[in-house]
Every structure is written in structure tokens, then in C-alpha cells.
Amino acid sequence: MKFLKLCIENYKCFQKPVEINLDIAEGQKNIVLIGGMNGAGKTAILEAINICLYSESKAKIFRGINRRELEKGNGNIFFELQIKLDDGDTLKIKRAWKNTSHGLNKITQSDLEEKLVLVRNDQRLAISDQGGWQDFLEKTIPHSITQFFFFNGEKIEYMASDKDPEGKLKESIEALLGIERARQLKIDLETIRKEQRKGRDDVLDEDIKAKTFQLTANSKKLEEWKKELIYLEKDLNNLEEKAKEIESDFLRRFGFSADSVGGLKEIEIKRIQLSTRKIEIDKEIKQYCSNILPSGLLSNRFNLIIEQIKNERMLHEAKITGRSNENLADILLEKLYKPECIMCRKPFDENKKGYLKKEILEAISSLDKNNKESLKISPILNLSEREEKRLEASLTNKQSLTNLKDLLNEREDVIKELRRTENELSKLKVGPEDKDAFRLLQRQRDDVQQNIGRRKQEIRDLDEQIADKISTNNILERELNNLYEKYSQEKGKADLLVKISRMINVLNEFIDKLRISKLEDLRKHIFTMYRTLASKSDLIADIIIDPLTYRIKIIDKHKTVIDKQNLSAGEKEVFAISLLWGLAKTSNYNLPIVVDTPLARLDSTHRNSIVTKYFPTAGEQVIILSTDTEVDKNYYKKLEPYIARVNHLLFDKYRELTTLEEGYFWEDNNGG
């Protein structure tokens, strides 16, 4: 199916009749490019296609009447869409709203009267009423599926948000994949069976009544749970947004993330453990040296320890000698200042007593240079005399000291790690003035994280309950079908009821298999296009579609589910476009693709992927409605090999109307 021509008159900025040629020649060129600045009428073209196919409310049509024409009293609006069907026939859809007030009063929406005409191969369709014509259009191009073929940037953004609170997207996907038709057939058969059962109370024995009651109650409970699940998911989204706000506050106020708070406690615990271990190692080394020094260390290690023992012994002796010299100086001074000293001249000056003591001590110290050098030694072992003798005796055996060496190496490693940990702690410290704010944010963050955990668990539990209830209902349905078959064989209309029950069972199996098959095809198509378009495609290993909820999960190369909320805006929109492409391919509907301003929210990398890899393969006919900043000269050059027709919308802001000109913004004609 291809669109050949679109006509618009008196709708929004299309004040005068505008005819847009959309026909493309058979061949490789599949793109119709229509440029237009913001407000020039691109969105109006997309709306006109949908209005022509499916009509619109009087209120919206009235709001769409060109302002200047409405002021003149002209309320007549006209749309025409020409389509080439798959069988080669041409279908013209003419839809108009006529003003019935005849200019007697100011036009209101109630004055508008709609008229629809369908012409196939220049012959008006032989359908008695407009309702029949609309049914024909609905069967030819189902309304529920066109949102995946005719869309704009807002639709892409909505699908990228991964939010579908009312389940409308799931219903549309099932319609697109053909599952809805099979389910509707099942509903119709169940209705027929119910009608056949009326007036035959003998068939409805107590077992059937009980199971029917249970099935009804289960279905009601299932709907309640689904509503509750929607509420929980909304609340979870709100909590996750709150968590992001708290994270931003942490970064802004303290310079580190909220996740570091939990790490701060772990680092502090690690620091305490390291400090404790260092004390234990020091104690073990001391005990080792004083009690059971292991053997096996190399001789040069023995010499170093023995040398240290001697040095510390000299230090100890030097301190004793120093105290002895002090006492000797005091005795000499006491003798000199006694009256009995006949060798000293009298009287001694008391003020020079301290000076004289200092001179005596220096004289004594000069006689023992070794004692002076010994005082410079730094103690390490601090052993008692008994411990020194025991250690020296042990060392002279020259046996292995491997364990002591290991302890020393471990002590060095512990000290290094302790310094690194203390440095890491210093980066996460909070000033006294910020402690109250820090504790408040920390409590808020802990509360939110606890609530998120609870919500996720509640959602998991509810998902399991829903799945169990659906499984229970399926079992009940099979049991009811078996009961209907059993009892219907013995009563009137047994053959029909048996066949209906069997058909319902077959349809249940068919729907399950069809869903699995179609969702697998959809998964492959989405995965292929997403890997083609995404800038981080090497990180994506697979895509999984939940057969119950139709939620799509992206799996990375580590087999971990990627939270789509953590994707960039561009990556989300690329995912949405991949989903739209996959749905179009899986549906087997051969409809044109109409895209309004698809690149506005994308960065240059993703724009290039969409232009070069998506548009040329999106469909047999792709109609792009673009601004000059989306498809600029660079992207136009890349699209040019695939462009079959190009025009641009020219808006006259003084007359408030749009006209159509050939060529793109900087061109005079097609392809020129």
C-alpha cells in the first residue's frame, strides 16, 4: 500500500487548497521528504492523514478551521487521500465538514456536518451508509495499528518513557500482531456457548456453578491486582526519582555520592581492623623475639638483630652512665663548696655553681665518646636484659626466621593499607557545620532506599500472584470446558457445545503459540535495529520481552538487565524507534511510514544512524516531515540516493497561510 496524494483545504495554516503529491516510482527510492519550519504545517499533514482515514470529533475539527477563514464565515473543511492498495486498485477517501448555518449566525461546532465518500477505481463504493464506509476503512487499515506507522517525536518520546499505565500499548501491540483477532474469536465463541446454555439448568450442575463462580471471582481479583500493580509501579518510579534528587543533593553539598555513605562505614570498619591488626603484629613480633624466635632466617638478618640488641644495650648503659656522671658532678660540687675543702679558694660564687656543673659534665662526657654516640640510637625492640640474653642465645643457632620475615612484611603492607584507608576517609569527611544536614539526607536516603526495596519486593510478589492466578484461571477454564464437553454429549445441542469447547481449547493453545512466535519475531527485529542504531551497541547482548506484560528488558554483555531509565535521552528514543520498526516488520502490514520531526531530540551520532540506517529501510514508502535543522544539508546528502520526491512548506506569516513548493529549503526543484 502506498499514498499517492493528499489534499487539504481550510485546515490550520492550509487556508487555501494545497495538493501534496506523495507518489513514488517503483524502484529503490522510497523516501518522500517534506521540509517545513516550525508552524508551517508538518503536524497538520500527519493529522490530515489520520482525519481522512478515521474522522475526528467536531470540537477538534472546529478548532482546526483556519482563523482568517473562520472570521469570514467559512467553516467548510475538506480532506482527500488517494491510496494505491496492495491489489493495485486506487482508493480515494474524501472527507469534508460543511457549515450548515448558511451565514445566519456565528459558526459553532454544532453547525458542522460531516460527509464521507469512498471511490475505488473511479467508482463510488456501493455501501448504503457512511457507517459501512468507515467499517470498510477500519478493516483495510485498522486504526489501532496506525500509531506504529504514523507517528511524531512526541509518540517516540512516549514509547521511550516505557510507561503504559492503562495497558493501551499492550492492546495495540496485540492488535498489530494479530493476537487480538484470535482472542476476539475466543470471546465470540464463549458468548455463543453461553447463549446455547441458557434455559438448560440441568447442564449447570453444582460443580459447573462452583467453578464458574470461582473463575468470576478470580478474574475480579486479577483486575484488582493489576490496578494495584500499576499503582505500585507508579510509586516506585516516584521513589526512584526521589532517590535521584537526594543523590544530587549529596553531590552538590558534600562532593560525594550518597552511595559512598555506606562505603564510609565500611572504610571506617576497615581502618579499625587494620589498626587492630598492626597492634597484634607488633605484639607477635615482640613475643617472637623474646620467647620463641623461629629459625631459618639468613645470617645477615641475625647480625642486624644482634647489632640492634647491642646498640640498645649500649643506649641503656649510656643512660645509666649519664645518670652516674650527674651524681658525680653533684658530689664534686658539694665537696668544693664545703668549708673543709682546704684546696679551694674561698669564697666560691654561688651564681656560678650551675655553670661549673655543666663544665664538669662536659669534661666527663668528652672522656667517653662512645657513650655520647650511644645516646643517638633509636630503640626498636625495648627488651629486658633477660629477654636480650634469651634472644641472643636463640639467634646464635642461625635457624630459620621465615615466620618473622612474613610478619615484618605483613606489618609493612598493613601500614601502607592503613595510610591509604585514612587518606580515603579524609576525602569523605563532613565538616561540623554540615553534620546535621548530612544526617538528615542520610536518613532520607535510607528511608527512600528501604521503601524502594519494599516496593520492588511487593511488585515481585504481586507479579507472582498475578501469574499464579492466571495459571489457576487457565486450569479452571480447561476444567469447565471438559465439563461442558462431558455433559453436552448427553444433552441437546451437545455436538455444538462440544465443538465450541474444543475450539476454545484450540484457540487458547493457538493464542499462546502465536504470542510466543510473534513476540520472538518482534524481539529479533527490535534487537537487530537497536544494535544497528545504538551508539553503545557492543554493550547490548540480548532483548527479552515478557509474554505476560509485554515489558521489554535490555540485557548487557554481563547478562544483567539494563534499567532503561539509566539510558540517555537519545538512546531511549533509538530504542523506541527500534520498537516501532520491529512492530511494523512483525505485523506484515504493508503501510507507508509517516514520521513528523523525528530527529529533534537526538544527538548527532544517533541522528546519523537514523538517517543512514533507519529511513532507507523503514518501509517501501517513507514520508518524512522535517525542519531544516533536522535534515540539514549534510543529512540531505546522505538521504539523497533514497529520495523519490522532495518539497517544502512555505508559511506566509503576514497572510497566515502555507503553500507547497518543489525542492528542499535550498533547492529550486526535485533533487536539484
Please tell me the predicted confidence (pLDDT) of residue 347: 54
Which residue do the cell numbers 506507522 mark? 149
Of all helices (H) and strands (E), which one includes residue 663?
Answer: none
Cell reading at 473: 484461571
The span from the CA of 111 to the CA of 62, in Å, is 9
pLDDT at 265 over 70: no
The span from the CA of 34 to the CA of 650, in Å, is 11
For the segment 321-342, the average pLDDT, to the nearest whole number, is 67
Q: What is the pLDDT of residues 287-317, one digit of tens each?
A: 777 655 544 444 556 667 777 777 777 777 6
3-class secondary structure for 542-575?
Answer: EEEECCCCCCEEEEECCCCEECHHHCCHHHHHHH
Q: What is the CA radius of gyration of the chain?
A: 45
pLDDT at 642 over 90: yes
The answer to whether the CB of 309 falls within 8 A of the CB of 372 is no
What's the pTM?
A: 0.57
The span from the CA of 181 to the CA of 587, in Å, is 13
Of all helices (H) and strands (E), which one includes residue 40?
Answer: none
Please tell me the predicted confidence (pLDDT) of residue 672: 41
For the segment 510-538, the average pLDDT, to the nearest whole number, is 84
The span from the CA of 607 to the CA of 632, in Å, is 11
Above pLDDT 70, what percent of the chain? 77
Q: What is the pLDDT of residues 525-557, one digit of tens each?
A: 888 888 888 766 667 888 888 888 788 888 888
Cell reading at 368: 667517653
3-class secondary structure for 325-388?
Answer: HHHHHHHHHHHHCCCCCCCCCCCCCHHHHHHHHHHHHHHHHHCCHHHHHHCCCCCCCCCCHHHH
Cα-Cα-Cα-Cα dihedral of 578, 582, 585, 586, to 10°?
Answer: 180
**Across 261-265, 266-270, 330-334, 660-664, least confident range:** 261-265
Could you give the angle at the alpha carbon of 5 between the alpha carbons of 4 and 8, nearest 5°? 160
Could you give the angle at the alpha carbon of 483 between the alpha carbons of 478 and 488, nearest 5°? 130
Phi and psi based region of residue 76 (left: phi greater than 0; alpha: psi -120 to 50; beta: remaining): beta
The overall average pLDDT reported for the chain is 80
The span from the CA of 605 to the CA of 612, in Å, is 11
Please tell me the predicted confidence (pLDDT) of residue 298: 47
Q: What is the pLDDT of residues 195-240, one digit of tens each?
A: 776 655 555 567 878 888 888 899 899 899 989 988 998 898 899 8
The span from the CA of 512 to the CA of 338, in Å, is 121
**Across 145-154, 164-173, 306-315, least confident range:** 164-173
Could you give the angle at the alpha carbon of 670 between the alpha carbons of 665 and 671, nearest 5°? 90
* Alpha-carbon separation of residue 42 from 3, 46, 356 (angstroms): 16, 7, 109
Nearest to 578 by CA among 626, 603, 628, 543: 543
Cell reading at 352: 656560678
Above pLDDT 90, what percent of the chain? 21
For the segment 340-366, the average pLDDT, to the nearest whole number, is 65
Q: Looking at 489-555, list the stretches that DSSP marks H as alpha helix, in order from N- to C-terminal side.
A: 494-533
The span from the CA of 529 to the CA of 551, in Å, is 18
Stronger pLDDT, 616 or 369, i.e. the higher one: 616
The span from the CA of 625 to the CA of 155, in Å, is 14
For the segment 512-527, the average pLDDT, to the nearest whole number, is 88
In angstroms, the first-to-last Cα distance of the chain is 28
